[in-house]
């Protein structure tokens, strides 16, 4: 079985590649009994810390790494969509460049996929909220409430940045139109319409995880996307 691990990347921290290469080997070794792993890094139009020398370093040090470059920044949803639709595998998993929930969580997601689930979500639980900067905490709390009471979703932690997909991945992402951070909600809503078999895995953040706080421009852009989803799915 083949699994593509899709990782979006935009303006990563300095020297990230030095840590990423050994982590990518560790991931492939950890999952070797479950799947043959390819890691697809999608550079979402980075303007720093992802130049040709870094790309060469990554490819030379781990042949499992494939790199896709987008000409300009389009958003996390667009980057992941490109990574999935441009590749073929038995299973697909997307996560973030710092593997925020560790390697075991990816293993747990793959186990659920192999057991027959078509979409595997992850749940960061209530303790996760306490780790967040104030604005992100409020936004995450409100999104969970909207997901439960407005969209009537069974699994409400749609924004958790680790998900897995079976062969439905291409059809599901072909229906996706949201490029920003709330693309996850659109995915889950479409999965509900398609009657996909959905499972959930609890996850916890790794130690010393760092969170960025959303700029006002990002919040407004995502609010517009959220309103579009409500209009499309409720009216």
Domain residues of the chain, as ranges?
Answer: 2-126+160-205
213 or 164: which leads in pLDDT: 164
**Number of alpha carbons in the 13 Å side-chain half-sphere of residue 138:** 5
In tens, the pLDDT along 104-151 reads: 999 999 999 999 999 999 999 999 999 999 989 999 999 999 999 999
Q: Please give the pLDDT value at position 213.
A: 77
Distance CA 166, CA 112 (A): 10
Q: Please give the pLDDT value at position 22.
A: 96
Distance CA 202, CA 120 (A): 11
211 or 202: which leads in pLDDT: 202
Q: Please give the pLDDT value at position 185.
A: 97
pTM for this entry: 0.95
CATH superfamily for 2-126+160-205 is: Spore Coat Polysaccharide Biosynthesis Protein SpsA; Chain A (3.90.550.10)
Q: Please give the pLDDT value at position 210.
A: 84
With a pLDDT cut of 70, the percent of the chain lying above it is 100
Distance CA 6, CA 93 (A): 6
In tens, the pLDDT along 54-112 reads: 999 999 999 999 999 999 999 999 999 999 999 999 999 999 999 999 999 999 999 99
Instruction: Evaluate if residue 235 carries a pLDDT over 80.
Output: no
Count of Cβ atoms closer than 10 Å to residue 46 Cβ: 16
């Amino acid at each position: 079985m083949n699994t593509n691990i899709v990782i979006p990347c935009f303006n990563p921290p300095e020297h990230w590649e030095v840590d990423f290469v050994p982590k990518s080997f560790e991931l492939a070794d950890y999952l070797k009994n479950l799947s043959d792993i390819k890691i697809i890094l999608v550079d979402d139009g980075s303007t720093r810390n992802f130049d040709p020398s870094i790309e060469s370093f990554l490819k030379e040090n781990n042949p499992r790494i494939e790199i896709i470059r987008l000409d300009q920044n389009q958003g996390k949803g667009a980057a992941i969509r490109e990574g999935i639709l441009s590749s073929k595998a038995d299973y697909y998993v997307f996560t973030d460049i710092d593997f925020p929930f560790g390697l075991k969580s990816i293993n747990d997601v793959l186990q659920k996929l192999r057991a027959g689930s078509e979409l595997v979500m992850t749940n960061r639980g209530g303790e996760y909220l306490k780790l967040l900067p104030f604005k992100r905490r409020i936004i995450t709390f409100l999104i969970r409430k909207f997901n439960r009471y407005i969209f009537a979703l069974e699994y409400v932690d749609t924004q958790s940045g680790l998900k897995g997909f079976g062969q439905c991945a291409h059809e599901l992402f072909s229906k996706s139109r949201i490029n920003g951070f709330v693309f996850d909600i659109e995915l889950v809503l479409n999965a509900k319409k398609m009657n996909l078999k959905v499972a959930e895995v609890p996850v916890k953040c790794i130690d010393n995880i760092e969170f960025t706080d959303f700029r006002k421009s990002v919040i407004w852009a995502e609010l517009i996307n959220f309103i579009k989803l409500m209009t499309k799915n409720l009216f």
